[in-house]
């Protein structure tokens, strides 16, 4: 009887040890699986960040190339954005809907708005800042001509004329500082302020060829 009990105890111990080993093996398996999944997650995150950086780098390179090839276009795009920011009432952003004001075409023969100006910038239709300024003033003059003085549109046009005029004057100065020839979008070979005056030849320089001849 005592021997039988010992055998049963050994069997129970062996079974318990086997169960513990199996549980330990499963635990290690799930731990390894969790670690692998975490590594995969981190790898995916790194790939996502890398692709995002590559996309931003391509965008920056594209912008740099565009600035080098078409500096005036980039400059005017920024200027349009600044003008749009001044139009808080969004009066000049889109073309006038002539279905709402049928007589608009009788007064305004050449409509103009900021979205049209932006499209002309993107289509390279402005060869200089003066052409851009002409469209801006045309837009303001159209609004003043069609609307009476007691309307919100007339007052908005006066406000835009003042604020936009300041932006345009500053833009002309900025173009001059950046070395764009007369606002035409062509870079000068030498930036203003960097021209170095040539030093006159010294007497020694003038007599040097004679000494060499000797």
The model's pLDDT over 159-200, given as tens digits with 9 standing for 90+, comes to 999 999 999 999 999 888 876 654 445 455 444 444 433 434
Is residue 206 scored above 50 in pLDDT? Answer: no
Orientation angle between helical segments 114-122 and 71-86, nearest 10 degrees: 170
Is residue 147 scored above 70 in pLDDT? Answer: yes
Is residue 208 scored above 60 in pLDDT? Answer: no
Q: What is the mean pLDDT of residues 102-118?
A: 95
Could you tell me the CA-to-CA distances from 22 to 13, 16, 25, 80, 129 in Å, in that order? 14, 10, 5, 71, 80
| Mean pLDDT of the chain, nearest integer | 80
Is residue 111 scored above 80 in pLDDT? Answer: yes
What confidence tier does 134 reach under pLDDT thresholds 50, 70, 90?
Answer: very high
CATH 1.20.920.10 fits 70-178, yes or no: yes
Query: What pLDDT shows up at residue 87?
Result: 95
Question: Would you say the pTM of this structure is higher than 0.85?
Answer: no
Give the residue with greater pLDDT, 38 vs 3. 38
Q: What is the mean pLDDT of residues 117-134?
A: 94
| Domain edges within the chain | 70-178
Query: What pLDDT shows up at residue 11?
Result: 62
What confidence tier does 71 reach under pLDDT thresholds 50, 70, 90?
Answer: confident
Query: What pLDDT shows up at residue 106?
Result: 94
Query: What pLDDT shows up at residue 7?
Result: 59
Query: What pLDDT shows up at residue 105?
Result: 93
Q: What is the mean pLDDT of residues 55-63?
A: 77
Query: What pLDDT shows up at residue 61?
Result: 74
% pLDDT > 90, the chain? 52
Orientation angle between helical segments 71-86 and 2-69, nearest 10 degrees: 100
Backbone region of residue 55 per phi and psi (left: phi > 0; alpha: psi in -120 to 50; beta: other values) = alpha
100-106 CB contacts, 8 Å cutoff, 24+ apart: 101/146, 104/146
Give the residue with greater pLDDT, 202 vs 145. 145
């Amino acid at each position: 009887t005592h021997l039988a009990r010992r055998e049963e105890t050994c069997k129970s111990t062996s079974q318990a040890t086997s169960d513990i080993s199996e549980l330990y093996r499963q635990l290690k398996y799930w731990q390894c699986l969790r670690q692998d999944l975490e590594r995969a997650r981190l790898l995916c995150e790194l790939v996502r960040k890398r692709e995002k950086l590559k996309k931003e780098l391509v965008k920056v390179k594209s912008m740099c190339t565009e600035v080098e090839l078409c500096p005036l276009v980039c400059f005017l795009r920024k200027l349009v954005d600044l003008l749009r920011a001044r139009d808080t009432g969004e009066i000049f952003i889109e073309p006038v809907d002539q279905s709402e004001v049928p007589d608009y075409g009788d007064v305004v023969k050449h409509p103009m708005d900021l979205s049209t100006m932006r499209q002309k910038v993107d289509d390279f239709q402005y060869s200089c800042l003066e052409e851009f300024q002409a469209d801006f003033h045309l837009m303001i003059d159209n609004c003043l001509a069609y609307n009476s003085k007691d309307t919100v549109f007339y007052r908005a046009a006066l406000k835009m004329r003042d604020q936009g005029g300041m932006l345009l004057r500053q833009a002309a100065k900025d173009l001059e500082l950046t070395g764009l020839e007369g606002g035409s979008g062509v870079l000068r070979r030498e930036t203003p302020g960097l021209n170095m005056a040539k030093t006159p030849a010294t007497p020694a320089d003038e007599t040097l060829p004679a000494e060499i001849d000797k």
